[in-house]
Structures are given as C-alpha cells and as structure tokens.
C-alpha cells in the first residue's frame, strides 16, 4: 500500500474515533454553518412539500434549513451521537428523525436504518472523502449506489475537488445528470446538484 493511502486511512480513522467521542460537534467540520449551506439555494427554494434525506447530517444545520424551507419530512444519519442528538433537537417536523450509523459498514449499515425507501431530495455533503479512506473501492461504490437509490429526483453532492471527478462519475452512472455548473465553495469543498434522469426500480 502506498504511503499516501496509508496516510489517508490514518486520517480517516482518526476522524472516526473523534466523531464517536467528541461532545463539541463544531470540532468535527470545516467552515461555519453558513458555509455548509453554500450551493444549496436552488434546492432549498424547491423544497416545499418534499421529503429529504441528509447522509452525514452532522448537527442538523442543513436539515433545519430544509425544514424551514417547507420540506414536510427530513431524516438523516451521522456517526456522531452528539451531532445526531443536536439534529433531533433542531428539527421538530412530524416523522423526522436522525440516526447514529457508521457507514463504513457499507450498504447493509444504511439499509438497517429505519428510513423511507425513497426521498425527493438526498444530500451527500462532506462524507465521500471520509469514507474513501476507510472502505475498499468496491464497498464504497456499493454504498454510493445504495445512497443514490434513495433519491427519486434530486441528489446533492459535496466533496473536496480532488475526489469530485470520481464521485461525479458514480452519480452519472447512477442515472443522474448535473443541474448547472459545479458550485465551488471554500472550506467545505465544491457542491453540485443533480436530477434523476433514469427511473429507479
């Protein structure tokens, strides 16, 4: 294994250990809450009456924005118990809930959660690069396909630019097409909105 791969795996596992123990959730993410909403304006504007799944919901900042924008149900998951507790306090929509999960367990970890089969909007923000350092390429591909399968319409992705081409290809192969250009933001990495072009089973 290359030194760079070992270093990435070490950093990813260090994040995982910290996420499971930290009580100050601000220490887990880069940027401000406002940074985490960059690139989401158009999706938030169209969220009225929608169901939303936030993969890697952190403390519910993004989920709360969707609730305030008129989403009827917002659910999510994260590895941090402290972050999930905060998200559950922030979002009080009927039927909304946030769950603790370690997605390095792959697609089976996602399917074990009490989630709906489909959501109008799925957000996958700032997660891919963390999982990449902890999972085999095949397991990450399988998990990404499972996450994409939860979206009936819109998929929003954010990851550091060095990983975006790989993630973009997975999303395109999953039956989506980009809506507009890549939104380049600061500390939280670029984001892009996709719309489903191929129906799900």
Residue-level pLDDT at 64: 97
Radius of gyration of the chain (CA): 16
Residue-level pLDDT at 17: 62
* Strands 51-55, 73-78: pairing kind: parallel
DSSP states of the chain: --HHHHHHHHHHHHHHHHHHH-S-GGGGSSS-HHHHTTT-HHHHHT-TT-EEEEET-TTSHHHHHHHHTT-SEEEEEES-HHHHHHHHHH---TT-EEEE--GGG-HHHHHTS---S-EEEEEEES-HHHHHTTS-HHHHHHHHHHHHTTEEEEEEEE--HHHHHHHHHHHHHTTEEEEEEEE--STT--EEEEEE-S---
Residue-level pLDDT at 50: 98
User: End-to-end CA distance of the chain, in Å?
Assistant: 38
Per-residue pLDDT of the chain (201 residues; tens, 9 = 90+): 565 566 555 655 665 666 666 665 655 566 677 888 989 999 999 999 999 999 999 999 999 999 999 999 999 999 999 999 999 999 999 999 999 999 999 999 999 999 999 999 999 999 999 899 889 999 999 999 999 999 999 999 999 999 999 999 999 999 999 998 898 877 778 999 999 998 876
């Amino acid at each position: 294994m290359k030194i760079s791969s070992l270093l990435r795996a070490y950093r990813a596992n260090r994040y995982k250990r910290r996420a499971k123990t930290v009580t100050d959730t601000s220490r887990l993410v880069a940027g401000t809450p406002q940074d985490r909403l960059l690139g989401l304006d158009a999706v938030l504007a169209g969220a009225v009456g929608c169901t939303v799944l936030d993969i890697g919901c952190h403390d519910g900042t993004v989920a709360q924005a969707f609730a305030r924008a008129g989403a009827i149900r917002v659910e999510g998951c994260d590895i941090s118990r402290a972050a999930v507790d905060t998200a559950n306090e922030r979002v009080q929509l009927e039927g909304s809930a946030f769950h603790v999960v370690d997605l390095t367990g792959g697609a089976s970890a996602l399917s074990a959660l009490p989630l709906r089969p489909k959501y109008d909007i799925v957000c996958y923000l700032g997660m891919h690069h963390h999982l990449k350092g902890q999972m085999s390429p095949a397991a990450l591909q399988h998990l990404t396909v499972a996450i994409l399968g939860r979206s009936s319409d819109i998929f929003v992705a954010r990851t550091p630019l060095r990983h975006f081409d790989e993630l973009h290809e997975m999303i395109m192969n999953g039956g989506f097409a980009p809506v507009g250009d890549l939104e380049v933001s600061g500390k939280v990495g670029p984001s892009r909105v996709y719309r489903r072009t191929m129906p799900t089973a």
